[in-house]
């Protein structure tokens, strides 16, 4: 029978992954597994750019709205749930697409997961308190001392992964970069076609600016206010991410909307650069422009032997 087949559509934020995934999955009787670290959260719809209701009716999606906003969610849980979804899709005779921009999730699913020590909630809380108390950048500076290769790879504001990298070295005595080097991400549980979307820089930045403004017009500020009314703390880690962080300042009258929009777009562009850097490190990725739908479809159809 061979290995299960996956088509992965990856790339930076706002590059058109969702629309392309729905278009191609609809052509070949497939369902989509989301590989997005924020779309797993319920009620965070506009700010995470979840597929629209129409897109979700057109093609069934998995791993959306999995946990409450205050819940923890990590790559190991993603991998377990994604594998279960893939098994379910294939049992029903459907093909599988994986669509998203969280590179670590995609790598763990397609090339294996570096184990490392289990999570320690108390240590994580203490590290977050130290970051808050000492000001932004504390965790990154500490990681530079304990695991320089990991620090070079992680952005100073990527608190979630900084905490995990510090947790690994503090609990095990071995830097995360060494764990990963020993693991090598050499597992191959699937026969994978990985397509990367890469608009030219000007086009990508224009897409990002338009998406940020569209999110606000669609009700991003109101979505955040609604989360607060539901009782979710503004200080939840997921609400510190791009979009929600800027709109919080608007709701608290610490920023005007246009200023917040500009900051949101600036941080989104930085995120897109980090995502592109990550995906350039994936050796099997086939890069395409988002508009090359027919060419991409030809590649997909050949892969599935349609």
Q: For residue range 105-136, what is the model confidence (pLDDT) as tens digits?
A: 999 999 887 667 777 888 888 998 888 888 77
**DSSP readout, 228-255?**
HHTT--TT-GGGGSTTHHHHHHHHTTSS
Q: For residue range 259-304, what is the model confidence (pLDDT) as tens digits?
A: 999 999 999 999 999 999 989 988 889 999 999 999 999 999 999 9
Q: How many domains does the chain have?
A: 2
Residues 79 and 94 in one domain: yes
Residues 10 and 68 in one domain: yes
- In this prediction, residue 237 has a pLDDT band, given cuts at 50, 70 and 90, of confident
In this predicted structure, which of 34-43, 78-87, 126-135 has the lowest mean pLDDT?
A: 126-135
Full domain range(s) for residue 167: 121-183
Between 191 and 187, residue with greater pLDDT: 191
**DSSP readout, 180-239?**
HHHHTT----SEEEEEEE---HHHHHHHHHHHHHHHHHHTHHHHHHHHHHTT--TT-GGG
Residues 164 and 45 in one domain: no
> Both tokens of residue 134?
């000492």
Residues 242 and 279 in one domain: yes
The Cα–Cα gap between 252 and 149 comes to 38
Most confidently modeled range among 128-142, 180-194, 206-220: 206-220
The Cα–Cα gap between 70 and 152 comes to 29
Between 46 and 277, residue with greater pLDDT: 46
Residues 92 and 23 in one domain: yes
Q: For residues 42 and 230, is the Cβ–Cβ distance under 8 A?
A: no
Q: What is the pTM of this model?
A: 0.83
Residues 168 and 255 in one domain: no
The Cα–Cα gap between 130 and 163 comes to 11
Residues 145 and 191 in one domain: no
Residues 65 and 127 in one domain: no
Where residue 274 sits, what CATH number does that domain have?
3.40.50.300
Residues 73 and 165 in one domain: no
């Amino acid at each position: 029978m061979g290995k299960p087949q996956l088509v992965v559509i990856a790339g930076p934020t706002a590059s058109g992954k969702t629309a392309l995934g729905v278009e191609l999955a609809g052509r070949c009787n497939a369902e989509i597994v989301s590989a997005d670290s924020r779309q797993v959260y319920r009620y965070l719809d506009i700010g995470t750019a979840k597929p629209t209701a129409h897109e979700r009716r057109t093609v069934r999606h998995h791993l959306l709205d999995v946990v409450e906003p205050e819940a923890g969610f990590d790559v190991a849980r993603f991998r377990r749930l994604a594998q279960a979804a893939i098994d379910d899709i294939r049992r029903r005779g459907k093909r599988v697409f994986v669509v998203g921009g969280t590179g670590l999730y995609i790598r763990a699913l397609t090339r294996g997961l570096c184990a490392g020590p289990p999570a320690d909630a108390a240590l994580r809380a203490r590290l977050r308190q130290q970051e808050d108390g000492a000001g932004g950048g504390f965790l990154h500076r500490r990681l530079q001392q304990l695991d320089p290769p990991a620090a070079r790879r992680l952005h100073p504001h990527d608190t979630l992964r900084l905490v995990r990298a510090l947790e690994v070295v503090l609990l095990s005595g071995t830097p995360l970069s060494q764990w990963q080097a020993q693991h090598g991400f050499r597992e191959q549980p699937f026969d994978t076609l990985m397509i990367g979307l890469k608009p030219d820089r000007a086009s990508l930045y224009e897409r990002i600016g338009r998406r940020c403004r569209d999110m606000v017009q669609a009700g991003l500020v109101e979505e955040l206010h609604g989360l607060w009314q539901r009782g979710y703390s503004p200080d939840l880690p997921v609400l510190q991410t791009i979009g929600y962080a800027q709109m919080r300042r608007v709701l608290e009258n610490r920023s005007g909307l246009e200023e917040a929009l500009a900051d949101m777009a600036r941080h989104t562009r930085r995120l897109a650069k980090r995502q592109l850097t990550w995906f350039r490190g994936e050796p099997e990725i086939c890069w395409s422009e988002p508009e090359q739908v027919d060419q991409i479809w030809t590649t997909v159809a050949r892969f599935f032997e349609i």
